[in-house]
Each structure stands twice: as structure tokens, then as C-alpha cells.
Amino acid sequence: MCRSIKTLRRAEAPATDIEVREAALQFVRKVSGYRQPSRANAAAFEQAVDDVALAARKLLDALVLPGKRVPSGERLSRLK
């Protein structure tokens, strides 16, 4: 995948919303083949970045980091 997308799951400091959005942007650029989409594709491109950022944030929020146990019921409720 993209070498510029860095790992956002880390114990010392949670990923910021800016970092998550930047990673989503890099992912959508790679998948779409556009660095900057045309006006005709701009809305779809931005929607994809928003969707990927939301999915990434949900994933990061649901992951249990080493040394931090979360009861399974709470973990499932975090995914909603």
C-alpha cells in the first residue's frame, strides 16, 4: 500500500482526527489514482475520504491496545 500512510494505532498517544483524515486521503488517492480529482469527481472523492476516515476512526476506537483489557460487551458497544 502507501508507504506514506503511517501506523495510527499506538499506545503512547491516540491518533488525532487530522492524522486519520490524512491517512484516509492517501488511501483514497492510491485507490482512485487521483492526486487531485477533476471537478466532476471531486464530490465522490471527498465523500470517499470522509467514509474511510470514519471507518478508520471506528476501528482505532474499537481496538484494544496491549495491556488494556476491555470487557467484550463494552467492546461490542463501541463498534456501533
What tens digit of pLDDT does each residue of 2-25 get? 566 678 888 788 899 999 999 999
Report if residue 1 sits inside a domain: no
What is the model's pLDDT at position 44? Answer: 98
| Structural domain of 44 | 17-61+73-78
Q: Give the rounded percent of residues in the chain with a pLDDT score beyond 90.
A: 57
- Report pTM: 0.75
* Mean pLDDT of the 55-62 span: 94
Q: Please calculate the CA angle 20-43-4 and round it to the nearest 5 degrees.
A: 30
> How many structural domains compose the chain?
1
- The C-alpha torsion from 3 through 4 and 7 to 12, rounded to 10°, is 140
Determine, yes or no, domain membership for 67: no
